[in-house]
Amino acid sequence: MLVLRLLNVVAPAYFLCISLVTFVLQIFLFIPSMFRDPSTTPLFSPALLHGALFLFLSANAMGNYVLVIQSSPEDLGKDLNLGKGAEVADWLDGSRSPGSALPSTHFCRLCARVTQRHDHHCFFTGNCIGSRNMRNFVMFCLYTSLACLDSLVAGMAYISATLSMSFADPLAFLTLLPHSISQFFSGALLSSEMFVILMLYLWLGIGLACAGFCCHQMLLILRGQTRYQVRKGMVVRARPWRENLQEVFGKRWLLGLLIPVRNVESDCRRQKGK
């Protein structure tokens, strides 16, 4: 438990550090050096267009990241009558009356609260993912993977021009790291260039991981399930996939796809239910 609590603090700091390094490399290194075209007007220059694209992806990723943290799942434990001397964890483990349990509830020991429609605990946000922040989590994974892909392409273009090498062969990227390590220790490669090469593989790993999270989460949303339900083998009521999507993304899904916003409609339905 101590290791998990430490990871819950270190992982968000690690993500923010990687985001800051990526922003600095893109704005102050890749874009000024790789997107120069004197023949175009400043308004439609490649540097400005690529910078606008990167800022759009980064703003959506960080905006949804903040909303995932701010839109914490509601603590249902304080509203439940668990009985005198009853522990929340015991109640969820089934030692209490089965009729008192709400569907898809889970007690997170890291957050110390009971949340409805619990999906999982995200260490990179230090928060549980539930009904209130599921849409922002999916958008966060989507735009993080796109930002990493954009940084990967720009970084490869920078390394290709700096080291005069071609990535036409797919094996060139796979052999880039061991070849660069040998050149770095022999003194033929600068530390700044080696750092960019290491960031290429980091962007590839983070981008693939976030894309996998996004695709897996969308599949569960279409089925109307959560990871916690799948892990526990819970049976969910079959509904049309459109209703499952609307429950998570709301009717104004296009607005949430373009800018980071809260799912106001789900909050309104929750207040009407109360």
pTM: 0.85
Dist. CA 241–CA 250, nearest whole Å: 13
Per-range mean pLDDT, top range of 55-64, 97-106, 162-171:
55-64
Query: What are the CA-CA distances from residue 56 to residues 61, 114, 178, 208, 258 (Å)?
Result: 9, 35, 34, 20, 9
Instruction: Identify the weakest region by mean pLDDT among 83-87, 102-106, 155-159, 201-205.
Output: 83-87
Q: Is residue 262 assigned to a domain?
A: yes
Average pLDDT, stretch 159-183?
88
Residue 96 above 60 pLDDT?
no
| Structural domain containing residue 47 | 8-35+43-73+135-266
Q: Is residue 87 part of a domain?
A: no
Residue 200 lies in a domain: yes
Q: Which of 17, 108, 111, 122 is catalytic?
A: 122
CA 67: distance to chain centroid?
12
CB–CB of 73/118 below 8 Å?
yes
122 a catalytic residue: yes
Looking at residue 247, what DSSP letter applies?
H
Measured between alpha carbons, how far is 86 from 36 in angstroms, rounded to an integer?
67
Written as six digits, the tokens of 164 are 């005069």
Please give the Cα distance from 182 to 199 (Å, whole number): 17
Report the pLDDT value the prediction gives residue 255, as an integer from 0 to 100. Answer: 81
Contacts of 48 (CB under 8 A, 6+ apart): 42
Query: Which residues, listed in sequence order, are joined to residue 107 by a DSSP beta bridge?
Result: 114
Return the higher-pLDDT residue of 145 and 249.
145
Structural domain count of the chain: 1
Q: How confident is the model at residue 86 (pLDDT cuts 50, 70, 90)?
A: very low
pLDDT value at position 235? 80
Beta strands in 50-157, from DSSP E residues, in sequence order: 105-108, 113-116, 120-122, 127-129
Name the residue with higher pLDDT: 16 or 96.
16
Q: Among 109-118, 127-136, 220-229, 253-262, which is the least confidently predicted range?
A: 109-118
Determine, yes or no, domain membership for 92. Answer: no
Q: Which of 138, 65, 154, 73 is nearest to 108 (CA)?
A: 73
In this prediction, residue 78 carries a pLDDT of: 54
Tell me, yes or no, whether 12 lies in a domain: yes
Residue 192, in any domain of the structure = yes
pLDDT tier, 140 (very low <50, low <70, confident <90, very high otherwise): very high
242 alpha carbon, distance to own chain's centre: 23
Average pLDDT over residues 99-120: 72
Structural contact between residues 228 and 119, judged by C-beta atoms closer than 8 angstroms: yes
Question: Would you state the pLDDT for residue 142?
Answer: 96
Residue 89 lies in a domain: no
Domain membership of residue 186 (yes or no) is yes
191-196 contacts: CB < 8 A, separation 24 or more?
A: 193/159, 193/162, 193/163, 196/25, 196/29, 196/155, 196/158, 196/159
Indicate the pairing of strand 120-122 with strand 113-116: unpaired
The 10s digit of each residue's pLDDT in 206-261 is 999 999 999 999 999 999 989 988 888 888 888 899 899 988 888 878 888 888 88
C-alpha span between 120 and 128 (Å, rounded): 6
Alpha carbon distance 109, 89 (integer Å): 9
**Which burial class, exposed, middle or buried, applies to 218 when counting CB atoms under 10 A from its CB (0-12, 13-18, 19+)?**
middle
pLDDT tens-digit map of 6-65: 988 899 999 999 999 999 999 999 988 877 665 555 656 788 888 999 999 999 999 999
* Amino acid identity, position 59: A
Note the pLDDT of residue 136: 92
